[in-house]
Amino acid sequence: MKKPNILIVEDEESILEMIALNLHHNNFQPLRAINAEIAESFLKKNEVDLILLDWMLPGIDGIDFLRRIRTNSNTKDIPVMMLTAKNEEANKIEGFDVGADDYLAKPFSQKELIARIKAILRRKNPESIAEQIKHGNLQVNPNSHEVFHQSKFIKLGPTEFKLLYLLCMNKNRVLSREIIVDKIWNNESEIDARTIDVHVKRLRSTLKSHGIENSIETIRGAGYKLSDEINFE
């Protein structure tokens, strides 16, 4: 079985080699790049399954490089995990808004890194095929990862799509953060409550921009719920 190629974009050599060694021991194939320019050349020549991207890079920084990845048709679907010492909520939101799939703050444990990589790769290639959900004028298709409202396409990131689908599949049921972690991240990584809240906030914002107001209820002390009373017309 082919080992997944993981591109590490990190300018600190000691961190780069530590991550590469850890990936090698866990049956991944590490590719090394100390800046965005080298990483771009790797992406042109190699099939990459996931990118570990440092925020603070010399020259083109991680956020700008992530923008390039997401606007290039050849690389836009590659999962990206940001690795950075920037641990403020605003930084996390910026990373997610640009298109990061996950965010791991330095210093981090190597076990957690591997767990998150496995979770992302599993989300990228789900084993089960589910059916399309219709709720009023909202249509959610898990096979094509497409969402439509009144026949208009709604663009969602992979995690926001899975979150919406999970809520639609469990209408009128309160989903705790623990359940959301288990269903979306397969309980393989230590996702904190704030990270889930950021994804819910992004999903709400996107739905609101398409005229879908109050789409997800916050149940204080319990979690989130999509109710039959929500109007998707």
DSSP-derived secondary structure letter, 175:
B
- Residue where the block lists tokens 């095929």: 129
| Structural domain spans, the chain | 5-124, 133-232
Percent of the chain with pLDDT over 70: 91
pLDDT over 50 (residue 112): yes
Residue 155 and residue 205 in contact, taking contact as beta carbons nearer than 8 Å: no
H-only helix segments in 26-172: 36-45, 62-71, 89-98, 110-124, 158-169
Q: Which residues pair with 223 in a beta bridge?
A: 219
Per the structure block, which two tokens stand in for 133? 């959900």
DSSP-derived secondary structure letter, 48:
-
Residue type, 205: S
Ranges assigned E (strand) in the chain: 5-9, 29-33, 50-54, 80-84, 102-105, 133-135, 138-141, 146-149, 152-154, 217-219, 223-225
| Least reliable range by pLDDT among 48-52, 108-112, 181-185, 191-195 | 191-195
pLDDT over 80 (residue 197): yes
Q: Tell the CATH topology of 133-232.
A: Arc Repressor Mutant, subunit A (1.10.10)
pLDDT at 127: 42
Backbone angles phi, psi at 45, to 5 degrees: -110, -15
Residue 105 and residue 14 in contact, taking contact as beta carbons nearer than 8 Å: no
| Least reliable range by pLDDT among 20-24, 71-75, 104-108, 133-137 | 133-137
17-45 per-position pLDDT tens digit? 999 999 999 989 999 999 999 999 999 98
Query: How confident is residue 60, by pLDDT bands cut at 50, 70 and 90?
Result: very high
49-59 per-position pLDDT tens digit? 999 999 999 99
**DSSP H or E segment with residue 24:** helix 13-25
Distance CA(48)–CA(40), nearest Å, equals 11
Residue 214 and residue 203 in contact, taking contact as beta carbons nearer than 8 Å: no
pLDDT over 90 (residue 63): yes
139-150 per-position pLDDT tens digit? 888 767 789 988
pLDDT at 164: 92
CATH 3.40.50.2300 applies to domain 5-124: yes
223, HSE (Cβ side, Cα atoms, 13 Å): 16
